[in-house]
Structure 1
Amino acid sequence: MNEAAKVAVQAPGSAQGESQRDRNRYHVVPAKHRARTAGAALAAILIALVLDSVLGNPRWGWGVFAEWFLSEPVLSGLGRTLLLTALGASIGFALGMLIALARVSRSPLLAGSAWVFVWLFRSIPLIVLLLILNNLGYLYETISIGIPFTGIAFGNWPTTEVVSPFCAAVLGLTLHHAAFSAEVIRGGIQSVDQGQLEAAAALGLPRLRQARRIVLPQAMRAIVPTAFNDLISLAKGSAMVYVLAMPELFYTVQIIYRRNLEVIPLLMVATVWYLIILSVLSAIQVYVERYFSRGATRSTTPSPFEEAIKALAGFVLRRRETAFAGESRLADAIAPSESKIPGAANPWIDQRTGGEIVIQKVSKSFGALKVLDNVSLTMRPGSVTVILGQSGSGKSTLLRTINHLERVDDGLIDIDGELIGYRRDGMTLYELKERDVLRRRGDVGMVFQNFNLFPHLSVLDNIVEAPVALGRLPRKEAEQLAQDLLARVGLADKAHAWPRQLSGGQQQRVAIARALALRPKVLLFDEPTSALDPELVNEVLDVIKELARSGTTMVIVTHEIGFAREVADTIVFMDRGRVIEAGPPASVLNQPQHSRTREFLSRVL
């Protein structure tokens, strides 16, 4: 035995054992940071000097401040300031959202008009805008409602009566805030990953639902901090309406100190009230940011208010978690073994009968690059087709054309005789509107390479979203189906987890469950294991192998040759946008006919 081993096995009563116990009583002295200490001391001195200067100088007039701080005129002016801020912010943000949507529109006229609006009202100083609106009566004597360019009017009103100082103030603050909000919202919308839009479209979610449930909640993470900065600027900018002689907070204070000549105390009244307003807005911002950051961050520092809410709701939450844990344990005990019991029913038997996919002379180009070149294939109902080929061979593009995520330049693709993107009338094809395309996509499930789960929705909500949105199931039944699907992919205990809390393999299995929730005729897999660590690949492939026996038509783009050999009915090899070879796995993999196929397989096998 060496010396180290001897030390390790010293008896507890030995000198070494006594020494070890003594170490537990050591007093640890933290490292000293002299620069940090000096900085803290300097800050304390400066704070003390400022407080002494402000509170100890009688010229600040704190008695006058106390007299007027809660006076009726000041509170009345404060009420008008809050009303102007609320109206300008709410109407301005709503208008800004419409302008932002117009800015990202595919219509050049709509996008251009929105750009001009933003350019104009961001350029005009607020005080100038307020004065122009207040003097609108000099330009237009009356305001009419009628049919433009016809002279037909249903009503006429004097402009000076309609556009009062209050109306001019609200309108000016609204237009000013809308211009800045539009750019903030546009930036937030464009910050949402493109994969999220594709996943929502692949699930067939209507455009309005995509915007409301998928895009805007994620965009709000980027929108909220800047939007609240603009809101705070608007609250302070409301003081500009003093030029309209409106008795808001700042104008009221001006009137008072012009009468009693106590300028500084009255200005401090306004200052403190603005500090209170902005402090409340900042506190609200914290909670709004945390609401929209659900599922995005691993932890946040809870505020005292949040701790109090958690304490009051703790008992209810614990009861729910306990009940859910019991259900999950029961599901885990029953579901995972279903497919392994000899003679047991196939766990995916409730899926629809697969559809037949017919691809006829399909071509697709991106600019000068031809990605698909006269591709023709037929995939019979319930078959499993694996598409192989090097990167850039057109595999993924072909997959995306099947559910019309990519429009083809030439050719047709139909599923059970029905075109996804078009309506056939004799020899004429009419392109469908997007809402019709989205509805038809419900029969074609898709699993993406990078999962594309919605990070702001729980695992359960990810799966429930499409069946509920498309009206295929009521919420309660959709949740039961989601729980069943999660159990079948071995994730029954993850229903209320956020996607970020799952491993890559678990996220991909949730993505498969989400695609299955619509009971599609066809399932498309775009390299489902390429984004996974090697040790996570098998758990996803095992689920796909089970699905391969379900009767659902499956098209899989993958580089997993061994997996393809095991599950595929047909293997398609593509190169430079063309189908080079297609046939049973034994034929294509063991006895390839084309030299390009043999060259590819020699590199990957």
Structure 2
Amino acid sequence: MTASTLAPPAPPVEQHTDDDVTAVPLRRPWRWISAVIVLALLVWFVTTIATNPNLDFTTVGAFLFDARILSGVWLTILITVISMVVSTVLSIVIAAMRLSSNPVLSSVAWFYVWAFRGTPLLVQIVLWGYLGLLFDRIRVGIPFTGVEFWSVDTNTLVTPLIAGLLALTLNQAAYSSEIVRAGMVSVDEGQREAAYSLGMSPLYTFRRVLLPQAMRVIIPPMGNELISMLKNTSLLSVIAVLELYTQASIISSSNLKQVELLIVVSVWYLFMTSLLSIPQYYLERRFGRGSSRNIPPTPFERLRAAMHKRKPGPAPAPPTQMTEVIGE
């Protein structure tokens, strides 16, 4: 029996000749120049705003957490959540009607989308706010017979808040239905045919096969619509709904600090839109799992990985020699 020690092979020695080409990275000085210009403009803008004598930042800080502002914030969030949830459910129904082979259903859905997308949201809000001018009472009964089961004064039932919810919900449903329809169309037609071949009904196929696959296309634009809905609540000030912008307008009319209150409103809208972007991000990851094998890590996972790299790990073990026993 003999033993021989095998050391790792030495790295090959690079041979340089006169024909070798030295790669020199391309210099792009305009990148640095443009970055410096943009940074200088940003510093100038921030300095101009911060040192502007016409801005009273004390007032901004005093009213940022004012009770009236906070009540407007909560009402804005409530209106946004209710309108978005109801409009999403309604948009799914309208999209299904648009895709239906029934000509009556598809025509009614098309007319709904055409009417509500073709008129301004502000006009729709005012019309719903002035509904009492068209109908003094809302009645429930048998049409064309005069039989009436229930009636109520229109202004009592349709308050400014209800009118705002109706306007935002019905308008948003028209836009969201087109997003849902686009997501449904993006699903391969073979999925529908396979579901029908298994005996699934059209409604069951829509709910269990087509809609889950379409969510990957629907979620990103619906997130944008949610943020637009949040900002469109400011239009309800025309019918005296006490949301965030209306509360700020009432305060500024008494202290004449219009710009400062607009800054307060802008800060709160930026904060709320940032919060609403978080669930959109995780919903996109959830419904996009089947489309990509390598899903990028979340910000928390990146932070955890960065903190893990900073921790000192155990010292590497010394290299060992490999011993091969050769038997004769």
In the superposition, the TM-score normalised over structure 1's length comes to 0.46
1:12 deviates by: 4.9
Which position in structure 2 is the counterpart of 1:154?
149
Report whether the alignment pairs 1:101 with 2:90. Answer: no
Which position in structure 1 is the counterpart of 2:124?
129
Spell out, residue by residue over 1:447-485, the C-alpha distance to the aligned partner (whole angstroms, 9 max, x if none): xxxxxxxxxxxxxxxxxxxxxxxxxxxxxxxxxxxxxxx
Letter matched to residue 158 of structure 1: D
Q: Secondary structure at the match of 1:64?
A: helix
How far apart are the structure 1 equivalents of 2:26 and 2:160?
Answer: 63
1:63 deviates by: 1.3
How far apart are the structure 2 equivalents of 1:105 and 1:276?
Answer: 41
Specify whether residues 104 and 48 from structure 1 end up closer, same or farther in structure 2 by C-alpha distance, changes over 3 A only: same
Specify whether residues 298 and 84 from structure 1 end up closer, same or farther in structure 2 by C-alpha distance, changes over 3 A only: same
1:149 deviates by: 3.3
Letter matched to residue 125 of structure 1: P
The one of 294, 303, 321 aligned to 1:299: 294
Letter matched to residue 69 of structure 2: V
Letter matched to residue 255 of structure 2: N
- Contact kept, 8 Å, 2:84 with 2:226, in 1: the verdict is yes
Which position in structure 2 is the counterpart of 1:143?
138
Q: Secondary structure at the match of 2:150?
A: strand
Spell out, residue by residue over 1:375-409, the C-alpha distance to the aligned partner (whole angstroms, 9 max, x if none): xxxxxxxxxxxxxxxxxxxxxxxxxxxxxxxxxxx
How far apart are the structure 2 equivalents of 1:71 and 1:167?
Answer: 25
- Is 237-246 or 220-229 further displaced after alignment? 220-229
Q: Which has the higher helix share?
A: 2
Letter matched to residue 53 of structure 2: P
Spell out, residue by residue over 1:409-449, the C-alpha distance to the aligned partner (whole angstroms, 9 max, x if none): xxxxxxxxxxxxxxxxxxxxxxxxxxxxxxxxxxxxxxxxx
Q: How does 1:124-203 map to 2 (within 5 A)?
A: 124-203=119-198
How far apart are the structure 2 equivalents of 1:249 and 1:118?
Answer: 29
Report whether the alignment pairs 1:256 with 2:246. Answer: no
1:269 deviates by: 0.4
Report whether the alignment pairs 1:66 with 2:61. Answer: yes
1:298 deviates by: 2.7
1:57 deviates by: 2.1
Q: Secondary structure at the match of 1:299?
A: coil
Specify whether residues 30 and 69 from structure 1 end up closer, same or farther in structure 2 by C-alpha distance, changes over 3 A only: farther
Spell out, residue by residue over 1:61-93, the C-alpha distance to the aligned partner (whole angstroms, 9 max, x if none): 221111100110000011111111111111111
Which position in structure 1 is the counterpart of 2:321?
none
Letter matched to residue 234 of structure 1: M
1:206 deviates by: 3.8
How far apart are the structure 1 equivalents of 2:10 and 2:246?
Answer: 81
**Superposition RMSD on alpha carbons, in Å?**
2.4
Q: Secondary structure at the match of 1:153?
A: strand
Which position in structure 2 is the counterpart of 1:290?
285
Letter matched to residue 209 of structure 2: I
How far apart are the structure 1 equivalents of 2:305 and 2:77?
Answer: 31
How far apart are the structure 1 equivalents of 2:296 and 2:53?
Answer: 41
Q: How does 1:55-454 map to 2 (within 5 A)?
A: 55-306=50-301
Letter matched to residue 255 of structure 1: I
Letter matched to residue 105 of structure 2: L
Q: Secondary structure at the match of 1:58?
A: coil
Which position in structure 2 is the counterpart of 1:33?
28
Spell out, residue by residue over 1:258-299, the C-alpha distance to the aligned partner (whole angstroms, 9 max, x if none): 111111111000011111111122222211111111110232
Question: Which aligned runs of 4 or more in structure 1 are off by greater than 6 angstroms?
Answer: 308-311
Specify whether residues 144 and 295 from structure 1 end up closer, same or farther in structure 2 by C-alpha distance, changes over 3 A only: same
Letter matched to residue 141 of structure 1: D
Specify whether residues 61 and 84 from structure 1 end up closer, same or farther in structure 2 by C-alpha distance, changes over 3 A only: same
Unaligned runs of 5+ in 1: 1-10, 21-27, 312-605
- Contact kept, 8 Å, 2:179 with 2:222, in 1: the verdict is yes
Which position in structure 1 is the counterpart of 2:20?
none
Which position in structure 2 is the counterpart of 1:592?
none
How far apart are the structure 1 equivalents of 2:55 and 2:198?
Answer: 65
Specify whether residues 12 and 230 from structure 1 end up closer, same or farther in structure 2 by C-alpha distance, changes over 3 A only: closer
Q: Secondary structure at the match of 2:292?
A: coil
1:37 deviates by: 2.0
- Contact kept, 8 Å, 2:289 with 2:295, in 1: the verdict is no
How far apart are the structure 2 equivalents of 1:200 and 1:60?
Answer: 63
How far apart are the structure 2 equivalents of 1:149 and 1:48?
Answer: 70
How far apart are the structure 2 equivalents of 1:259 and 1:29?
Answer: 66
Which position in structure 2 is the counterpart of 1:54?
49
How far apart are the structure 2 equivalents of 1:54 and 1:39?
Answer: 23
Q: Secondary structure at the match of 1:60?
A: coil
Letter matched to residue 298 of structure 1: R
Q: Secondary structure at the match of 2:187?
A: coil
Specify whether residues 166 and 191 from structure 1 end up closer, same or farther in structure 2 by C-alpha distance, changes over 3 A only: same
Specify whether residues 309 and 92 from structure 1 end up closer, same or farther in structure 2 by C-alpha distance, changes over 3 A only: farther
Higher relative contact order (CA 8 A, sep 6+): 2
Q: Which has the higher strand share?
A: 1
1:306 deviates by: 4.8
Spell out, residue by residue over 1:570-593, the C-alpha distance to the aligned partner (whole angstroms, 9 max, x if none): xxxxxxxxxxxxxxxxxxxxxxxx
How far apart are the structure 1 equivalents of 2:223 and 2:194?
Answer: 30
1:33 deviates by: 3.0
How far apart are the structure 2 equivalents of 1:182 and 1:208?
Answer: 17
Which position in structure 2 is the counterpart of 1:516?
none
Specify whether residues 99 and 254 from structure 1 end up closer, same or farther in structure 2 by C-alpha distance, changes over 3 A only: same
Specify whether residues 33 and 275 from structure 1 end up closer, same or farther in structure 2 by C-alpha distance, changes over 3 A only: same
Identity of aligned residues (%): 38
In the superposition, the TM-score normalised over structure 2's length comes to 0.82
Spell out, residue by residue over 1:534-585, the C-alpha distance to the aligned partner (whole angstroms, 9 max, x if none): xxxxxxxxxxxxxxxxxxxxxxxxxxxxxxxxxxxxxxxxxxxxxxxxxxxx
Q: Secondary structure at the match of 2:139?
A: strand
